[in-house]
Chains A and B, each alone.
With several copies, the nearest count.
Chain A
Amino acid sequence: MSATTHPRGLFDAQVISNRQICREHFRLVLSVKDFPAAAPGQFVQLGCRDPHAPPDEPDEHEWIDADDPGLRTRSLVAPTPLLRRPFSLAGAEPDPQRPGCTLLEIIHRVVGLGTARLAGLREGDAIDLLGPLGNGFPLPRAGQRAVLVGGGVGIPPMIYLARALGAADVGGVAVCGVTTADLLPLTWADGVAADPQGLPTRCIREFADFGIDAVVASDDGSVGVPGRVTVALQRVLDHLALPAGDVVVYTCGPERMMRAVTEMSQARGLTTWVCMERSMACGMGTCQSCVCRVNDKSSDDGWRYRLVCTDGPVFDGRVLIWD
């Protein structure tokens, strides 16, 4: 079991902005001092506490408790929710305003208590996080083309990956699937239309900025091409028509989607990097809660568990065993 090789730590973060970007998604930008170098595919564990809740430190109480030291303690201190929540980095770049700080971008969908707390964060609020965690995506070799397949809340790490591809001058195509139009956490580029056949164009700002064409697919056909992301992916791969060794597929999203994507791209002999998701308690490799199954010839029954938080979240599609 390899530990991450990146340094990781507990950091205080300041909320720079927190904006609702579609019906249920928010883009949260944090500034963090001395944050270690991070890579696409890595994630952070956010403390989803209410920054407006009372502090843990007892106040002074001169009157009621003049002779009542019991009043100086507080038994109800109840951060809610208890555990941190993991979120992929959708970006990490030097903070132009604050020397020594990194701007972290997180795009999250409100699905429960923790994400609802995050949605309530306001500029200037303080939260804390553990990170950067996990291994990150291996970038393509020079000359290879990247195909980024994101579904729903699996889209954010693809945004960060696009930035890294741009910096490494690697070309690529993004295929993004959503259930319906107002759950698309991306921005349409001004004046660039989506291709009605589902061929990639510079239509999504987050990708176009880094020279990457994109296709959007929606289950209900309310935006982009109708149907599952795999339908769009098939068309894109057919259209690219490159030799297997020249294409690398990256995928993140619901497990059923990633399985279908992996099976499709493996049938074509393409290298596939899969960014897995599991319920996590620690995020740092200590609790053993975040396992997924991988092939392991050395094991009696041919498989073993690996930790999504430290061995992953990115795994080679060939080693994963889908449940």
Chain B
Amino acid sequence: MKNPLTTASGTSGYAFEYGDFVDLRLLGAFVTKSITLHPRKGNAPPRIIETRAGMLNAIGLANVGLEAFVAEKVPQLREMGLPVFVNVAGTAIDDYCQVARRLNEVDVVRGLELNISCPNVKEGGISFGTDCGQVAGITSAIRAAAPDKVLVVKLSPNVTDIAATAAAAVDAGADALSLVNTFTAMAVDVDRRRPMLSNGNGGLSGPAIRPIAVYMVHRVYSQVARKHNIPIMGMGGIQTARDALEFLIAGATALSVGTALFVDPTAPVKILDGLADYCRRHNLSALREVIGSLQFPEPGKGYKSTYA
């Protein structure tokens, strides 16, 4: 990756849907929508609703399925000239493995991002990502199924201790971690007394979740990733260069922009410019210097007050 900016899975389509708005070649990598073994229609509409500084989505993993993806989308991805990560989802380990085996043969695919955290699908998606044993099981199965690809495991934030699921993924062979996926959440239509989304629950994304996502990235970085030298792809509410820097300083090596793409498809490019500015302002020879540079206070100590 020539720079840390990528698009978050599910927010920029399969390939060029979003290429009218920005030159994709400026990005560091491209991450596709979740692909499942069979095509999926997804949930009935409404599938999204805006909330305070965020949005809920319950797309339901709607996608064209593995075969159509390979036949129709992969040729387009070849044109992109970028490292491509295909996000893989499923409802049983065997489904995941079939997808992974097939993609292992596709040269243009640099790596797989394992979606074990999508909270929208009732048939099991959520459980893979919230139980350490399951995380380890699916990670090592995919590791074996796609030995030639970079394996990124995308962690669910809906857990008590995200460092524990991170460690399980790393021990089972993950090359990198991405976090966070969306938070399970709900909005209620109070007049009709039913959820706003036809699915009931949805996943919360956007600026509202950023402080929790930054905390989780820092937790995974300081407890797991740093010592194993595992890169983290950070995401959750990134809109501006300042937001991106929060993630980098907390320990992310790469960054995904999701919800913000809907607001401004050029956001990743603007963020890149902002990061370059920051380096100039702070006399940094490379952005790398800020990664994980957070000075976290000693437990119970605090640092000297800003007011000093």
Contact = CB atoms under 8 A, between A and B. Distances in A.
> Does a CB–CB distance below 8 Å link A and B in the complex?
yes
Interface of A: 1, 3, 7-10, 47, 56, 68-70, 72-79, 81-84, 130, 255-256, 277-292, 304-305, 310, 322-323
A75 B191 contact: no
Contacts of B13: 285-286
- Interface SS majority for chain B: loop
Contacts, number: 135
Interface in B42-60: 42, 44-55, 57, 59
Interface in B175-208: 187, 189-192, 196, 206-207
A84 B41 CA distance: 25
Choose among B45, B46, B51, B192 the residue with the greatest number of A CB atoms under 10 Å from its CB.
B45
Interface of B: 10-13, 16-18, 20-21, 33, 41-42, 44-55, 57, 59, 62, 64, 187, 189-192, 196, 206-207, 239-240, 242, 259, 261-266, 304-308
6 contacts: A7-B20, A69-B191, A255-B307, A285-B13, A287-B59, A291-B47
Contact of A56 (B51, B59, B207, B240): B240
Contact of A82 (B41, B46, B206): B206
A288 B17 contact: no
Contact of B242 (A7, A73, A292): A73
A277 B57 contact: no
Nearest to A305: B41
A84 B263 contact: yes
Choose among B49, B262, B306 the residue with the greatest number of A CB atoms under 10 Å from its CB.
B262
B306 A68 contact: yes
A90 B273 CA distance: 36
Contacts of B10: 287-288
Contacts of B55: 82-83, 281
Contacts of A79: 263
Contacts of A289: 45-48, 57, 59
B21 to A, nearest CB: 5
A284 B265 contact: yes
Given A75-B242, A286-B18, A279 B45 contact: yes
Contact of A304 (B41, B49, B54, B262): B41
A255 B45 CA distance: 13
B62 A282 contact: no
A288 B262 CA distance: 12
Contacts of A8: 20-21
A78 B49 CA distance: 15
Contacts of B46: 278-279, 289
Contact of A279 (B47, B51, B62): B47
Nearest to A49: B263
A287 B57 contact: yes
Contact of A291 (B45, B262, B263, B264): B45
